[in-house]
Amino acid sequence: MQYNFNEIIDRNKNFSAKYDERMKKFKTNDVIPLWIADMDFKVAEPIQEAIRSRAEQGIYGYTTRPDSYYEAFCTWQKSRNSWDVNKNLISFSPGVVPTLSVIVREFTSPDDKVLIQTPVYPEFYEVIEAWGRTVLESKLVESDGRYSIDFNDFEEKLKENPRIFILCSPHNPIGKIWTRSELERITELCQRYGVLIISDEIHSDLLLWGNKHIPTASISKEASEITITCTSATKTFNLAGLQASFAIFPDVEKKDLFDSFWKGLDIHRNNCFSLVAIEAAYRHGSEWLGQLLKYVEGNILYIRDYCERHIPEIKPNLPDSTYLLWLDCRSLGMSNDELNRFMIEDAGLGLNDGSAFCRSLTGYVRLNAACPRKILETAMDQLSTAVESITNNNLGRVQ
């Protein structure tokens, strides 16, 4: 079937964090919310039908997980990524961030360091520091909007004996897909220094321009032995509110250690709706996903072209994956506080503060492009007007 991603859906009665938490995050409701990473699109019809069918049963008791649930995930990974996943080494978790947090807690000690590559998803900082561990940063190197790994720095950081390296693959916020050679070097170095890799692959299905994702654990036998993979259908299919994810372990011992934490909280079941929704997504969601990605590509190109023509001071990257854009606003010459105030008060946009992704970074914001084009058109016009206003004011002061 043909999906209509141009449809503007009123989410004001949707109990949506993206909309309902604007006052909390931006101190005003008068912003277009383009921040938190969910989409303003209805999910695939087979997913809606699976949820409707389950809801009509009228009983929502404790839910058991059938073999078909993990089989659907394994089939998806095999067909999409040529990755053979051992079903017996998969664990349930409410989400990828909770998975990261529990792994940091259970696989490290309070005096340990955990390595990350910045700029990166802010929760990487949070799940490390929440348990009293130390964040170790290896900064990615930017050139003309493209990022690469400084492997000399990466190895120097590994020499500081971090217990864990958390890899974001594909990378959020820059949308980079790591190449096989990059992943081979990462895994070889981590093996050499005895560092466990936690590979956050939640964005791995949101592949643009025909790009392909390579699961870190699939690189080699040696890589599979030191990698825990964290992923979910929730980002791909806009199901974040259903809270379910997969953690794939290299061996039973690590899986058991992880599972024991959740058993202590009596958390080991899907809710009744995530169970059917996620299996339906993996079995019947490909058509919707293909159309979504084409639409998102169009949105990204629209923003890039608009900025080139009307706001050359702001330079969006061209991501390999995800629906997230990393906007370089350094030409505006603002501090982070000034830039955030400008985006909220002058442009009327609710974006993510770039300094949350790297605390020493100035002049960046993250924009979520997964919304109807009309919303982006309004947002870009507001941004253009705001930039033109400050540019004219600056010219007036010079004259």
Tens digit of each residue's pLDDT (9 = 90 or more) over 78-112: 999 999 999 999 999 999 999 999 999 999 999 99
Q: Where are the alpha helices (DSSP H) in 63-158?
A: 67-81, 96-107, 123-129, 151-158
DSSP 8-state assignment for residue 271: -
Length of the chain: 399
| Whether pLDDT at 398 is above 70 | no
State the first-to-last Cα distance of the chain, in angstroms, to the nearest integer.
59
Q: What is the mean pLDDT of residues 207-220?
A: 98
Q: ω before 173 within 30° of 0 (cis)?
A: yes
357 or 393: which leads in pLDDT? 357
| Whether pLDDT at 52 is above 70 | yes
For 59-80, write each residue's pLDDT tens digit.
999 999 999 999 999 999 999 9
- The per-residue pLDDT for 12 is 83
For 116-160, write each residue's pLDDT tens digit.
999 999 999 999 999 999 999 999 999 988 999 999 999 999 999
What's the whole-number average pLDDT of the chain? 96
Q: What is the mean pLDDT of residues 177-197?
A: 98
Give the whole-angstrom CA distance, residue 332 versus residue 56. 54
Q: How confident is the model at residue 394 (pLDDT cuts 50, 70, 90)?
A: low
Q: Which two tokens stand for residue 366?
A: 């993250």
Q: What is the mean pLDDT of residues 209-238?
A: 98
Can you list the domains of the chain with their CATH numbers?
Answer: 17-44+286-388 (3.90.1150.10), 59-283 (3.40.640.10)
Q: What is the mean pLDDT of residues 228-251?
A: 98
Q: What is the pTM of this model?
A: 0.96
Q: What is the mean pLDDT of residues 242-265?
A: 97
- The per-residue pLDDT for 191 is 98
Q: Where does the chain show beta strands of DSSP type E?
A: 32-33, 90-93, 113-118, 134-139, 141-143, 146-148, 164-168, 196-200, 227-231, 245-248, 315-316, 324-328, 349-350, 352-353, 364-368
For 295-341, write each residue's pLDDT tens digit.
999 999 999 999 999 999 999 999 999 999 999 999 999 999 999 99
| Whether pLDDT at 399 is above 50 | no
Q: Is residue 171 within 8 Å of 120, Cβ to Cβ?
A: yes
| Cβ-based burial of 396 (10 A; exposed 0-12, middle 13-18, buried ≥19) | exposed
